[in-house]
Amino acid sequence: MGRKNRNRQRAQQNRDGRAEGKRSRDDAGWGAGYSEIIKENKLFEHYYTELKIVPEGEFEEFMEAMREPLPATIRITGYKSHAKEILHTLKEKYFKEVQDLEVDGQKIEAPQPLSWYPDELAWHTNLSRKILRKSPLLEKFHQFLVSETESGNISRQEAVSMIPPLLLKIEPQHKILDMCAAPGSKTAQLIEMLHSDMDVPFPEGFVIANDVDNKRCYLLVHQAKRLNSPCIMVVNHDASSIPRLHFDQDGKKDVLFYDRILCDVPCSGDGTMRKNIDVWKKWTTSNSLQLHGLQIRIAVRGVEQLAVGGRMVYSTCSLNPIEDEAVIAALLEKSEGALELADASPDLPGLKYMPGIASWKVMTKEGQWYSDWSEVPTSRHTQIRPTMFPPTDPEKLANMKLERCMRILPHHQNTGGFFVAVLVKKAPMPWNRRYPKLQMGESPADVPPADGSSADAPVEAVEGETPAEGNPSVPDTPDLLEVKKDNVCGPPPPKKMKLFGFKEDPFVFLTEDDPIFPSIQAFYDLSPGFPKLNVLTRTHEGKKRQLYMVSKELRNVLLNNSERMKVINTGVKVWSRNTDGEQFGCAFRLAQEGIYTLCPYIRARIINICVEDVKVLLTQENPFLRKLGDDAHNQAKKLGHFSYLYFFKNVSTFITLLFVLDHLCIKLQKTSMGGMVNLTTFSLLTVVISLSLFFSFY
C-alpha cells in the first residue's frame, strides 16, 4: 500500500474513532464520556499516605473531597465602577433565587463569599459546572454569568487560582512579569490590581504576560482584552530562557528588573483531579520527576529578573513535594541567602492551609522509595536528581523555614489542591557577578554590560567543569539587529530566533506630527496633554485602519526590545477607521473598548444623558436619537453627525457608564445608527442585568 493510501486510511480511522466516541458520549448524556473513568488510583493513595501531607485521621475525608465535582466559583472585577452594583445584584437577586432549589436530588446551598478574598468580591457555591449548565432552573443565573464574563465584569475562576495574585501585593507602579500566563485568569487579576484606581488611565506599572505555547497565547490575549488595559503585553517565549529586556531611563539604557513576578509553573496537576478527571487514570510519580528540572529552571530565571526587594510567588496545582518544597529548597540553597521565604499567612486571613513540610521521600513509578540521594543507584541518576531530596544539613534546613510554604487541601474549604510560596529577593543572586566597570556613584543595574549580557547574567562555567543541575546557565539574549525603522517594532529576524505560530504584524508608533492627528485632534478636541507618542498601529504600509494605545512605559519596553522578543499583542484599541466619517471631518470613530483610556482627553462629541436615556440605549435594538430625551437630542443636533460619547453618571450609586455610538444621520424621519461598537455584549447583555435593581426594567 502506498504512503498516501496508508495516510488516508489512518486519517479515516481516526475520524471514525472520534465520531464513534462523540456519538457514545452524546447518547449517554452530558459528562458521561468520563463514566468509564473510576476515581481511584492506588498508587496515588499509597504515595500521599506515606508522605503524610494530610493531617492524621483526615485522609479518607481528603479522598472523598477529591472524588467530588469542583464547585463553581466566581470573581467580580473589583476595580470597575459598577462592581458594587454587580455584587448587590448577585446577593439580592440571583443568590436568593438559587439557595432553596433542589436539582437531581441535590439541595443547592446558598452561595457564600470566600472568607479570605477582600471585599466579598469572590463567591463559591456547591453548584458544579454540570448542574449549572444543564439545569433549566438555573438557566437565567447561567446566562448572567456568561454575559458578565464576556464583558469582563466577572471571571469564573477556580478559588485556589485566585491566591497567587493576592500574595503578590500589586501596586499601580509595579512592573510585573507573569512567566507562564495562559489561559490568563491570574493575568486578569494582575491587570485589575494594576488599575485599582480607575480614574488613572495609564498606571506607571505594566504586566508582561508570557507563555511558551503560541496557540495558548491567543487565549491569553482574549482574556486580557476583556479588561481593555493599555498596560498589558503578551509575549511568546520559553519561560526558562525568557530574554532579558532593556529600557531607557534618564537618557541611558538600563536592564529591566521586575517588581513582581508570578511563577505559576507547569506541573503534574494532581490538585485538579476534581475538574480534570483524566488525572485519576494518568497519575504516576514519573510526571513529577520529569517536571522537577524544568520547574527549577523557570524559577531560577524568574529570580534572576526580579528586582532586589521584589516579590515572586511560586505556585503549582500539584500536591507533590517534588514539585513544591523540593523546588523551593533548591532555589533557596542556590541563592545563598539572596532569597527569603516570606510568611504570607497574615495576608489571607480566613484561608485554611497546611504549612510546608521539611521531610519527604522520592518514589519511582514502580513504587520503590528513596529517602536520600545516596540511596539512589547509578542507573536511576538520569531520572532522580539530588535537588529532589530535602537538604541533609539540619541547620540549613531550619534556616529555609519551609513551613512558610502553603499547601491547600481540597477537603478543608471545598476547593482544588494547590501549593504556593512567596519569595522576597534580598540581594543579587550569587552567580550574578559579571558587572561592567562603573563610574563613580553608579550601581550595577545602571549600565548594561558592554558584552551584550545583562548585569544580572549567570556566570559562565569553568572549562572542563559541568554545572550542577539547575544552576543558571542560560545566557541572556545578546543584542540583535538594531531597529531598522524609527518607531517600528517588528518580529525578531528569523535567522536570529526561531519563530513558531503566526507571524505577527509590526507595531508602528506614530510621531507627534503624523498627518493622521490634526483631524482627530480637531474633531474630538483632544486636550494638550494627550500622549500622541503612545498611539500605535499594526502596519507601516497603506491606510491605518485601527489605532491602539499603550502606556509610555510599555512603549519604552517595545522600542528597546522589539528584536529580542516575540510580541503577540499589546495595547487597547481606541479608534477605528470609518470611511463614512470622512465627509464629517474625521475618518476615525471611537472604539468602545478604549473609551476609558481616551475619556480624560476628549473634550468634544460628549452627550450627557439621564436615566431614561440609558434605558433607551440598553433596551432598544435601534436607539434612534428621536427616542432619547429632548436634552440629549438637542445636544446631538448641535454636535452634528458621526461618533458620539454618551456619558451617564449616577452620583447616588457611584455608577459611571460610557457608551460609544455612531450616528451617521440625525434626521427625525430617517434616523439611523451606522454602527455600534461592542455595545451588544457590553450593554444589552451586561449593564441591563447589572443595573436591573436600580432601573427596574429587566
Which residues are designated catalytic? 317
Measured between alpha carbons, how far is 665 from 548 in angstroms, rounded to an integer? 27
Q: Is 238 annotated as a binding residue?
A: yes
Measured between alpha carbons, how far is 104 from 102 in angstroms, rounded to an integer? 7
Q: Is 181 annotated as a binding residue?
A: yes
Q: Is 580 annotated as a binding residue?
A: no
CB distance 624 to 673 below 8 Å: yes
CB distance 598 to 590 below 8 Å: yes
Read off the C-alpha cell for 329: 529548597
- Provide the strand spans (E) within 416-524: 418-425, 488-489, 507-509
AA letter at 414: N
**What's the Cα-to-Cα distance from 161 to each of 20, 186, 262, 356, 581, rounded to whole Å?**
35, 7, 12, 18, 45
Q: Which residue has the cell 521565604?
A: 341
- Provide the strand spans (E) within 339-437: 339-341, 354-355, 362-363, 369-370, 406-408, 418-425
Of the candidates 158, 164, 261, 265, the residue with the CA atom closest to the CA atom of residue 207: 261
Other C-beta atoms lying within 10 Å of the C-beta of residue 443: 11
State the DSSP code for 541.
Answer: S
Of the candidates 252, 231, 330, 218, the residue with the CA atom closest to the CA atom of residue 550: 231
Q: Is 630 annotated as a binding residue?
A: no
Between vectors from CA 79 to CA 233 and to CA 153, what angle results, nearest 5°? 80
Measured between alpha carbons, how far is 486 from 467 in angstroms, rounded to an integer? 42
**What's the Cα-to-Cα distance from 677 to each of 128, 543, 559, 595, 681, rounded to whole Å?**
35, 21, 30, 11, 10
Q: Three-state DSSP class for 527?
A: coil
Q: Which residue has the cell 507602579?
A: 173
State the DSSP code for 506.
Answer: P
Four-residue CA torsion sign, 282, 284, 290, 296:
positive
Q: Is 186 annotated as a binding residue?
A: yes
Of the candidates 155, 211, 312, 80, the residue with the CA atom closest to the CA atom of residue 568: 211
Other C-beta atoms lying within 10 Å of the C-beta of residue 54: 20
Q: Is 104 annotated as a binding residue?
A: no
The H or E element that residue 505 is part of is none
State the DSSP code for 599.
Answer: G
- Provide the strand spans (E) within 265-326: 306-316
Q: Is 185 annotated as a binding residue?
A: yes
CB distance 692 to 614 below 8 Å: no
Q: Which residue has the cell 474513532?
A: 17
Whether omega before 183 lies within 30 degrees of 0, making that bond cis, reads yes
Other C-beta atoms lying within 10 Å of the C-beta of residue 500: 10
Q: Is 211 annotated as a binding residue?
A: yes
Read off the C-alpha cell for 669: 424621519
Measured between alpha carbons, how far is 235 from 562 in angstroms, rounded to an integer? 11
Q: Which residue has the cell 491567543?
A: 218
Other C-beta atoms lying within 10 Å of the C-beta of residue 659: 25
Q: Is 182 annotated as a binding residue?
A: yes
Could you list the residues known to form a binding site, using ranges.
Answer: 180-186, 211, 238, 264
Could you list the residues known to form a binding site for S-adenosyl-L-methionine, using ranges.
Answer: 180-186, 211, 238, 264
